[in-house]
Protein backbone atom coordinates (compact mmCIF):
# COMPACT_ATOMS: atom_id res chain seq x y z
CA UNK A 1 0.00 0.00 0.00
CA UNK A 2 1.37 3.41 -0.91
CA UNK A 3 1.72 6.23 1.59
CA UNK A 4 -1.12 8.15 -0.01
CA UNK A 5 -3.43 5.14 0.29
CA UNK A 6 -2.74 4.47 3.98
CA UNK A 7 -5.37 5.71 6.46
CA UNK A 8 -4.60 8.93 8.24
CA UNK A 9 -4.27 8.21 12.00
CA UNK A 10 -5.98 11.53 12.80
CA UNK A 11 -9.21 10.37 11.13
CA UNK A 12 -11.21 8.13 13.46
CA UNK A 13 -14.60 6.49 13.37
CA UNK A 14 -17.03 7.79 15.98
CA UNK A 15 -19.36 4.90 16.95
CA UNK A 16 -18.77 5.57 20.66
CA UNK A 17 -19.77 9.24 20.70
CA UNK A 18 -22.70 8.62 18.35
CA UNK A 19 -24.03 5.75 20.49
CA UNK A 20 -23.51 7.69 23.71
CA UNK A 21 -25.20 10.83 22.40
CA UNK A 22 -28.11 8.83 20.99
CA UNK A 23 -28.54 6.97 24.28
CA UNK A 24 -28.54 10.17 26.33
CA UNK A 25 -31.14 11.73 24.04
CA UNK A 26 -33.30 8.58 24.20
CA UNK A 27 -33.13 8.43 28.00
CA UNK A 28 -33.79 12.15 28.36
CA UNK A 29 -37.06 11.73 26.47
CA UNK A 30 -38.19 8.31 27.73
CA UNK A 31 -37.05 8.32 31.38
CA UNK A 32 -39.43 11.10 32.57
CA UNK A 33 -42.41 9.20 31.13
CA UNK A 34 -41.20 6.05 32.86
CA UNK A 35 -40.88 8.00 36.12
CA UNK A 36 -44.50 9.13 35.78
CA UNK A 37 -45.57 5.54 35.08
CA UNK A 38 -43.96 4.14 38.25
CA UNK A 39 -45.01 7.09 40.41
CA UNK A 40 -41.62 8.74 40.95
CA UNK A 41 -42.96 11.98 39.47
CA UNK A 42 -46.30 13.31 40.66
CA UNK A 43 -48.36 15.21 38.11
CA UNK A 44 -50.84 18.01 38.71
CA UNK A 45 -53.72 15.68 37.85
CA UNK A 46 -53.84 12.03 39.01
CA UNK A 47 -52.84 9.56 36.29
CA UNK A 48 -55.17 6.58 35.89
CA UNK A 49 -53.55 3.21 36.49
CA UNK A 50 -54.43 2.08 32.96
CA UNK A 51 -52.46 5.00 31.52
CA UNK A 52 -49.59 4.21 33.91
CA UNK A 53 -49.44 0.64 32.63
CA UNK A 54 -49.53 1.85 29.03
CA UNK A 55 -46.74 4.35 29.69
CA UNK A 56 -44.63 1.68 31.37
CA UNK A 57 -45.04 -0.84 28.54
CA UNK A 58 -44.48 1.81 25.87
CA UNK A 59 -41.41 3.47 27.41
CA UNK A 60 -39.67 0.39 28.87
CA UNK A 61 -38.09 -0.65 25.53
CA UNK A 62 -36.84 2.90 24.90
CA UNK A 63 -35.35 3.12 28.40
CA UNK A 64 -33.62 -0.23 27.87
CA UNK A 65 -32.31 0.76 24.44
CA UNK A 66 -31.13 4.14 25.74
CA UNK A 67 -29.34 2.50 28.65
CA UNK A 68 -27.60 -0.01 26.38
CA UNK A 69 -26.54 2.75 23.98
CA UNK A 70 -25.13 4.86 26.81
CA UNK A 71 -23.21 1.96 28.33
CA UNK A 72 -22.00 0.66 24.96
CA UNK A 73 -20.94 4.08 23.68
CA UNK A 74 -19.22 4.93 26.94
CA UNK A 75 -17.45 1.57 26.91
CA UNK A 76 -16.05 2.28 23.43
CA UNK A 77 -14.70 5.65 24.59
CA UNK A 78 -13.16 4.12 27.70
CA UNK A 79 -11.57 1.26 25.76
CA UNK A 80 -9.97 3.72 23.33
CA UNK A 81 -8.74 6.14 26.01
CA UNK A 82 -7.69 3.64 28.70
CA UNK A 83 -6.45 0.46 27.01
CA UNK A 84 -5.78 -2.53 29.23
CA UNK A 85 -6.63 -6.11 30.06
CA UNK A 86 -9.04 -5.30 32.88
CA UNK A 87 -12.78 -5.01 32.38
CA UNK A 88 -14.42 -1.89 31.02
CA UNK A 89 -16.20 -1.33 34.33
CA UNK A 90 -12.86 -1.27 36.19
CA UNK A 91 -11.41 1.23 33.71
CA UNK A 92 -14.39 3.60 33.74
CA UNK A 93 -13.37 5.43 36.97
CA UNK A 94 -9.90 5.98 35.51
CA UNK A 95 -11.40 7.51 32.37
CA UNK A 96 -13.71 9.80 34.36
CA UNK A 97 -10.89 10.93 36.64
CA UNK A 98 -8.72 11.73 33.62
CA UNK A 99 -11.54 13.77 32.11
CA UNK A 100 -12.12 15.61 35.38
CA UNK A 101 -8.42 16.37 35.77
CA UNK A 102 -8.20 18.29 32.49
CA UNK A 103 -7.94 22.04 33.24
CA UNK A 104 -10.35 23.05 30.46
CA UNK A 105 -13.02 20.75 31.89
CA UNK A 106 -12.54 22.15 35.39
CA UNK A 107 -12.72 25.72 34.08
CA UNK A 108 -15.88 24.95 32.08
CA UNK A 109 -17.57 23.27 35.05
CA UNK A 110 -16.62 25.90 37.66
CA UNK A 111 -19.25 28.53 36.65
CA UNK A 112 -21.90 25.81 36.52
CA UNK A 113 -20.88 24.62 40.00
CA UNK A 114 -21.33 28.16 41.35
CA UNK A 115 -24.79 28.35 39.77
CA UNK A 116 -25.72 24.94 41.24
CA UNK A 117 -24.59 26.12 44.67
CA UNK A 118 -26.77 29.24 44.36
CA UNK A 119 -29.87 27.28 43.35
CA UNK A 120 -29.32 24.69 46.08
CA UNK A 121 -28.75 27.32 48.76
CA UNK A 122 -31.85 29.31 47.83
CA UNK A 123 -34.02 26.18 47.54
CA UNK A 124 -32.92 25.09 51.04
CA UNK A 125 -32.60 28.35 52.96
CA UNK A 126 -34.39 30.93 50.79
CA UNK A 127 -31.24 33.04 50.47
CA UNK A 128 -28.26 32.67 48.16
CA UNK A 129 -24.70 33.96 48.18
CA UNK A 130 -23.94 37.65 47.60
CA UNK A 131 -27.56 38.58 48.20
CA UNK A 132 -28.95 36.59 45.25
CA UNK A 133 -32.70 36.18 45.65
CA UNK A 134 -35.05 33.38 44.71
CA UNK A 135 -36.80 35.74 42.29
CA UNK A 136 -33.61 36.31 40.31
CA UNK A 137 -32.88 32.58 40.11
CA UNK A 138 -36.42 31.90 38.95
CA UNK A 139 -35.92 34.43 36.17
CA UNK A 140 -32.53 32.83 35.53
CA UNK A 141 -34.23 29.63 34.41
CA UNK A 142 -36.15 31.53 31.73
CA UNK A 143 -32.95 33.38 30.80
CA UNK A 144 -31.17 30.04 30.33
CA UNK A 145 -33.85 29.02 27.84
CA UNK A 146 -33.34 32.31 26.01
CA UNK A 147 -29.57 31.72 26.06
CA UNK A 148 -29.99 28.25 24.54
CA UNK A 149 -32.25 29.73 21.89
CA UNK A 150 -29.75 32.52 21.22
CA UNK A 151 -26.76 30.22 20.86
CA UNK A 152 -28.61 28.29 18.19
CA UNK A 153 -28.49 31.40 15.96
CA UNK A 154 -25.26 32.95 17.21
CA UNK A 155 -23.54 29.59 16.89
CA UNK A 156 -24.35 29.50 13.19
CA UNK A 157 -22.64 32.88 12.81
CA UNK A 158 -19.43 31.46 14.29
CA UNK A 159 -19.23 29.15 11.27
CA UNK A 160 -18.99 32.10 8.86
CA UNK A 161 -15.36 32.75 7.90
CA UNK A 162 -14.27 36.19 9.14
CA UNK A 163 -12.90 37.39 5.80
CA UNK A 164 -13.93 40.35 3.67
CA UNK A 165 -17.66 40.94 3.38
CA UNK A 166 -18.40 37.72 5.23
CA UNK A 167 -16.50 39.06 8.24
CA UNK A 168 -18.54 42.26 8.17
CA UNK A 169 -21.78 40.28 7.99
CA UNK A 170 -20.60 38.09 10.84
CA UNK A 171 -19.87 41.05 13.12
CA UNK A 172 -23.11 42.79 12.17
CA UNK A 173 -25.13 39.65 12.76
CA UNK A 174 -23.54 39.10 16.17
CA UNK A 175 -24.19 42.70 17.17
CA UNK A 176 -27.82 42.70 16.00
CA UNK A 177 -28.77 39.34 17.52
CA UNK A 178 -26.95 40.07 20.78
CA UNK A 179 -28.71 43.43 21.10
CA UNK A 180 -32.07 41.78 20.41
CA UNK A 181 -31.68 39.15 23.13
CA UNK A 182 -30.22 41.59 25.65
CA UNK A 183 -33.16 43.95 25.09
CA UNK A 184 -35.47 41.10 26.06
CA UNK A 185 -33.50 40.55 29.26
CA UNK A 186 -33.38 44.28 30.07
CA UNK A 187 -37.15 44.15 30.57
CA UNK A 188 -36.33 42.16 33.72
CA UNK A 189 -33.60 44.56 34.87
CA UNK A 190 -29.88 45.07 34.40
CA UNK A 191 -29.01 42.06 36.58
CA UNK A 192 -31.01 39.80 34.28
CA UNK A 193 -29.25 41.27 31.23
CA UNK A 194 -25.83 40.63 32.78
CA UNK A 195 -26.87 37.10 33.70
CA UNK A 196 -28.01 36.40 30.13
CA UNK A 197 -24.83 37.88 28.67
CA UNK A 198 -22.77 35.65 30.96
CA UNK A 199 -24.72 32.54 29.95
CA UNK A 200 -24.28 33.27 26.24
CA UNK A 201 -20.56 33.87 26.72
CA UNK A 202 -20.15 30.58 28.59
CA UNK A 203 -21.78 28.73 25.70
CA UNK A 204 -20.01 30.46 22.81
CA UNK A 205 -16.58 31.65 23.98
CA UNK A 206 -14.94 28.21 23.49
CA UNK A 207 -15.93 28.31 19.82
CA UNK A 208 -15.01 31.87 18.88
CA UNK A 209 -11.40 30.85 18.25
CA UNK A 210 -12.30 27.54 16.59
CA UNK A 211 -12.01 27.16 12.82
CA UNK A 212 -15.40 27.48 11.08
CA UNK A 213 -15.46 23.89 9.83
CA UNK A 214 -17.76 20.87 9.99
CA UNK A 215 -16.15 19.66 13.22
CA UNK A 216 -16.93 22.92 15.02
CA UNK A 217 -20.47 22.89 13.64
CA UNK A 218 -21.04 19.32 14.83
CA UNK A 219 -19.78 20.19 18.31
CA UNK A 220 -22.02 23.26 18.49
CA UNK A 221 -24.97 21.15 17.38
CA UNK A 222 -24.24 18.49 19.99
CA UNK A 223 -24.00 21.03 22.81
CA UNK A 224 -27.14 22.86 21.71
CA UNK A 225 -29.15 19.65 21.31
CA UNK A 226 -27.98 18.20 24.62
CA UNK A 227 -28.83 21.35 26.57
CA UNK A 228 -32.21 21.76 24.88
CA UNK A 229 -33.25 18.14 25.48
CA UNK A 230 -32.15 18.23 29.13
CA UNK A 231 -33.86 21.59 29.70
CA UNK A 232 -37.19 20.53 28.22
CA UNK A 233 -37.12 17.15 29.99
CA UNK A 234 -36.26 18.52 33.44
CA UNK A 235 -38.65 21.46 33.46
CA UNK A 236 -41.49 19.56 31.78
CA UNK A 237 -41.56 16.77 34.34
CA UNK A 238 -39.84 18.08 37.48
CA UNK A 239 -41.42 21.52 37.68
CA UNK A 240 -41.94 24.70 35.72
CA UNK A 241 -39.61 27.66 35.30
CA UNK A 242 -40.34 28.66 38.92
CA UNK A 243 -39.04 25.37 40.38
CA UNK A 244 -35.69 25.91 42.06
CA UNK A 245 -35.38 22.17 42.63
CA UNK A 246 -35.68 21.53 38.91
CA UNK A 247 -33.18 24.32 38.31
CA UNK A 248 -30.70 22.67 40.68
CA UNK A 249 -31.08 19.35 38.84
CA UNK A 250 -30.72 20.96 35.41
CA UNK A 251 -27.57 22.89 36.25
CA UNK A 252 -26.11 19.81 37.95
CA UNK A 253 -26.52 17.78 34.76
CA UNK A 254 -24.93 20.55 32.67
CA UNK A 255 -22.08 20.85 35.17
CA UNK A 256 -21.33 17.12 35.00
CA UNK A 257 -21.45 17.20 31.20
CA UNK A 258 -18.87 19.99 31.20
CA UNK A 259 -16.73 18.27 33.85
CA UNK A 260 -16.55 15.02 31.90
CA UNK A 261 -16.19 16.76 28.52
CA UNK A 262 -19.31 15.12 27.12
CA UNK A 263 -20.14 17.95 24.72
CA UNK A 264 -16.76 19.15 23.54
CA UNK A 265 -14.80 18.64 20.34
CA UNK A 266 -12.65 15.87 21.80
CA UNK A 267 -15.81 13.88 22.51
CA UNK A 268 -16.53 13.81 18.78
CA UNK A 269 -12.99 12.83 17.90
CA UNK A 270 -10.36 14.90 16.06
CA UNK A 271 -11.41 16.98 13.07
CA UNK A 272 -10.94 15.70 9.58
CA UNK A 273 -7.56 16.83 8.20
CA UNK A 274 -7.55 19.08 5.13
CA UNK A 275 -7.10 17.22 1.84
CA UNK A 276 -3.49 16.87 0.81
CA UNK A 277 -2.60 17.82 -2.74
CA UNK A 278 -1.56 14.97 -4.97
CA UNK A 279 2.09 14.85 -5.80
CA UNK A 280 2.60 15.29 -9.53
Q: Looking at the structure, do residues 169 and 249 belong to the same domain, yes or no?
A: yes
Question: Within this chain, do residues 113 and 246 fall inside the same structural domain, yes or no?
Answer: yes
Closest CA to 138 of 244, 29, 236: 244
In a domain, 5, yes or no: no
- C-alpha 123/C-alpha 264 separation (Å) is 30
| Residue-range definition of the domain harbouring residue 190 | 102-271
Name the domain boundary from 51, 80, 97: 97
Residue 195 contacts residue 251 (beta carbons within 8 Å): no
Per-block mean pLDDT, blocks of 10 residues, the chain (280 long): 41 61 79 81 77 91 90 80 79 82 85 89 77 80 90 82 73 86 85 88 77 74 82 78 84 88 57 52
Same domain assignment for residues 93 and 169: no
The verdict on residue 279 lying in a domain is no
Angstrom distance (rounded) from CA 29 to CA 18: 17
* Residue 1 confidence (pLDDT): 44
Instruction: Give yes or no: residues 27 and 141 share one domain.
Output: no
Same domain, residue pair 66 and 203 = no
What is the C-alpha separation between 187 and 191, in angstroms, rounded? 10
Q: Are residues 40 and 159 in the same domain?
A: no
> Which of these, 61, 44, 40, lies nearest to 52 by C-alpha position?
40
Residue 4 lies in a domain: no
Residues 183, 61, single domain; the answer is no
Confidence at residue 105, expressed as pLDDT on a 0 to 100 scale: 84
Dmax (CA) for the chain in angstroms is 75
Amino acid sequence: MSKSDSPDPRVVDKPGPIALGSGIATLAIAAPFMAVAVGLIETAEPVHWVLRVFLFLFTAPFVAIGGLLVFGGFAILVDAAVPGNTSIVQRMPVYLLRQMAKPRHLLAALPMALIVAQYYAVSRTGEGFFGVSAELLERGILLEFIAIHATGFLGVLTLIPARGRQGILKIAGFAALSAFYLMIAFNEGWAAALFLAGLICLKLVPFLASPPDLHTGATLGLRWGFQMVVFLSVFSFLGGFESLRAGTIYWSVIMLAELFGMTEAEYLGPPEPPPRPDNI
